């Protein structure tokens, strides 16, 4: 790791938020993105190559969209923070040769454009940087608030899915799940969006997309080097460095959980499974966050995380906040609430990744990609303990990405008129999309992974 660099903790004051950032599409901005996208991925995201499997499935769907046969939603797995830039580059650059070839046959009518209107979390621009804050609205991206109210965004989405210029692209799992080969439950908003599209067209297609990353051509060496990094950051030693990779990962998980139990003052339950202990830490951390935020625990773990996230955003960026109009004490009170938010958000940031640490994900025989992903998640837990977030997560450079296109879900065949209530339609659609995403992920693992680790 080289010379140790201490992380400086910066606690910002209360400040003016961005508010709702409305999309304002510009062809010039999209062309700029197409030109610099490859350099951005390589230099800032560390992705040196993108491969697309089954591109004709997506191009066929795009062709039918632009000829007016249907409305189109591209639902991509969200497994890493690099996913959206990878998808944008795949659509705007990697598919271009095939799209140009198809466009020669189509002529002017129904000409395909390799672009989509992406949805993103309304808090993303707080950590994604100035470049994203400038680019996202100019390429038509729409901010949404998962598990929250966002009337401006919903009105735009309804209009766009029913008659917009571009398809809609979204991550239906609501947030990064850190699992390339295991799909999490999807948010109900995806099904609602599809049904809105059916109000304006005879058919809506949902195209499932899985995304995978290969971090090294020598996975075992890579994992052992990441465990060295884990040991240096945590100050914990692994007993037998010559043990198998999976044994080392389980030992590192055990010691990471023990560190967290000590941090939160949790008495270890010797009868509990490792996964149970992880969930217990998540529960205690969320209770700490909710107590500080004066928020009642409601819903599942993800519901609670989003509630804390939005409460924290409102504290750091109060509505109608103008520091110039406040007296000194009023300014200090706003800063105090922002300081509290930094603390409870730190608890939730830890849970954000810890909930996805599951030893069952790397049961032998385990694909090398799963094991590489798992060790990076363990490192990220340490990153969150140090006060980091997804933007400071360690991500190796020179990785390769795979975008795998699955068989589309035809909404009319899943939620036909007159069969069920609207709620039943939504549930059936959500199940169908999740099944398609999981199938696409499993198929990708079978093709993409080169080896396995045994116990």
For position 9, what pLDDT does the model report? 65
b or e along 190-223 (b: 16 or more beta carbons within 10 Å of the residue's beta carbon)?
Answer: bbbbbbbbbeebebbbbbbbbbbbbbbeebeebb
Report the C-alpha gap between 316 and 193 in whole angstroms.
Answer: 31
For position 323, what pLDDT does the model report? 84
For position 424, what pLDDT does the model report? 86
For position 416, what pLDDT does the model report? 58
pLDDT digits (tens, 9 = 90+) for 166-204: 999 999 998 999 999 999 999 888 999 999 999 999 999
What band does 148 get if pLDDT is binned at 50, 70 and 90?
A: low
Please state whether 141 falls in left (phi above 0), alpha (psi between -120 and 50) or beta. beta
Please, what is the angle between helix 368-385 and helix 245-264, to 10°? 20
**Whether the predicted pLDDT of 2 surpasses 60:** no
What band does 6 get if pLDDT is binned at 50, 70 and 90?
A: low
Of 99-103, 374-378, 439-443, the range with the lowest mean pLDDT is 99-103
Report the C-alpha gap between 259 and 285 in whole angstroms.
Answer: 13
For position 242, what pLDDT does the model report? 87
What fold, for 27-215+396-450? Answer: Glycerol-3-phosphate (1)-acyltransferase (3.40.1130)
Question: Which H helix or E strand runs over 95?
Answer: none
- Sorted by where each begins, the domain ranges of the chain are 27-215+396-450, 219-392
Of 121-130, 237-246, 323-332, 439-448, the range with the lowest mean pLDDT is 121-130
What band does 101 get if pLDDT is binned at 50, 70 and 90?
A: very high
C-beta separation of 193 from 415 below 8 A: no
Strand 168-170 versus strand 142-144 pairing type: unpaired
What is the average pLDDT value for the chain, to the nearest integer?
91
For position 17, what pLDDT does the model report? 81
C-beta separation of 119 from 157 below 8 A: yes
117 pairs with which residues across the strands?
Answer: 168
For position 341, what pLDDT does the model report? 94
Residues 6+ apart with CB under 8 A from 167: 61, 62, 65, 71, 72, 73, 74, 116, 117
For the chain, what percent of residues have pLDDT higher than 90?
Answer: 75
pLDDT digits (tens, 9 = 90+) for 269-315: 889 999 999 999 999 999 999 999 999 999 999 999 999 999 999 99
C-beta separation of 122 from 146 below 8 A: no
List the alpha helices (DSSP H) in 265-367.
Answer: 274-293, 301-316, 328-354
C-beta separation of 437 from 77 below 8 A: yes
For position 7, what pLDDT does the model report? 66
What band does 324 get if pLDDT is binned at 50, 70 and 90?
A: confident
| Block residue for tokens 């560390």 | 46
Three-class DSSP category at 255: helix
C-beta separation of 407 from 207 below 8 A: no
For position 365, what pLDDT does the model report? 95
For position 149, what pLDDT does the model report? 60
**Whether the predicted pLDDT of 25 surpasses 90:** yes
pLDDT digits (tens, 9 = 90+) for 364-420: 999 999 999 999 999 999 999 999 999 899 999 999 999 999 999 999 998 655 556
Of 12-21, 213-222, 426-435, the range with the lowest mean pLDDT is 12-21
For position 8, what pLDDT does the model report? 67
């Amino acid at each position: 790791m080289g010379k140790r660099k201490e992380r400086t903790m910066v606690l910002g004051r209360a400040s003016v938020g961005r508010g709702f950032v409305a999309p304002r599409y510009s062809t010039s901005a999209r062309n700029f993105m197409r030109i610099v996208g490859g350099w951005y991925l390589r230099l800032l995201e560390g992705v040196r190559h993108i491969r697309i499997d089954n591109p004709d499935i997506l191009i066929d769907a795009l062709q039918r969209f632009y000829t007016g046969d249907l409305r189109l939603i591209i639902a991509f797995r969200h497994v890493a923070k690099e996913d959206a830039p990878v998808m944008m580059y795949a659509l705007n650059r990697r598919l271009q040769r095939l799209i140009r070839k198809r466009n020669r046959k189509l002529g002017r009518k129904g000409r395909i454009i390799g672009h989509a209107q992406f949805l993103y979390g309304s808090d993303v621009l707080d950590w994604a940087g100035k470049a994203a804050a400038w680019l996202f609205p100019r390429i038509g991206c729409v901010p949404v608030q998962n598990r929250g109210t966002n009337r401006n965004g919903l009105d735009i989405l309804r209009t766009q899915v029913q008659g917009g210029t571009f398809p809609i692209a979204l991550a239906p799992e609501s947030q990064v799940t850190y699992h390339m080969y295991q799909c999490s439950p999807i948010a109900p908003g995806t099904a609602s969006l599809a049904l809105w599209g059916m109000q304006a067209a005879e058919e809506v297609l949902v195209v499932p997309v899985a995304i995978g990353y290969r971090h090294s051509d020598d996975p075992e060496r890579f994992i052992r080097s990441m465990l060295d990094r884990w040991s240096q950051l945590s100050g914990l030693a692994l007993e037998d460095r010559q043990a198998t990779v999976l044994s080392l990962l389980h030992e590192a998980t055990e010691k990471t959980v023990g560190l967290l139990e000590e941090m939160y003052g949790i008495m270890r339950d010797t009868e509990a499974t490792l996964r149970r202990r992880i969930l217990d830490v998540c529960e205690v951390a969320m209770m700490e966050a909710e107590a500080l935020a004066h928020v009642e625990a409601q819903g599942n773990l993800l519901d609670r995380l989003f509630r804390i996230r939005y409460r924290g955003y409102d504290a750091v960026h109060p509505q109608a906040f103008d520091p110039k109009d406040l007296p000194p004490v009023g300014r200090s009170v706003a800063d105090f609430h922002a300081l509290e938010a930094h603390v409870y958000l730190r608890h939730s940031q830890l849970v954000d990744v810890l909930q996805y640490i599951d030893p069952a994900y790397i049961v032998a025989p385990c694909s090398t990609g799963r094991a590489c992903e798992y060790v990076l998640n363990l490192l990220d837990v340490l990153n969150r303990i140090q006060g980091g977030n997804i933007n400071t997560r360690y991500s190796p450079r020179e990785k390769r990405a795979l975008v795998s296109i699955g068989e589309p879900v035809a909404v009319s065949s899943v939620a036909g008129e007159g069969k069920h209530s609207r709620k039943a339609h939504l549930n059936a659609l959500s199940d169908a999309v999740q099944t398609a995403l999981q199938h696409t992920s499993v198929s990708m693992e079978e093709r993409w992974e080169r080896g396995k680790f045994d116990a």
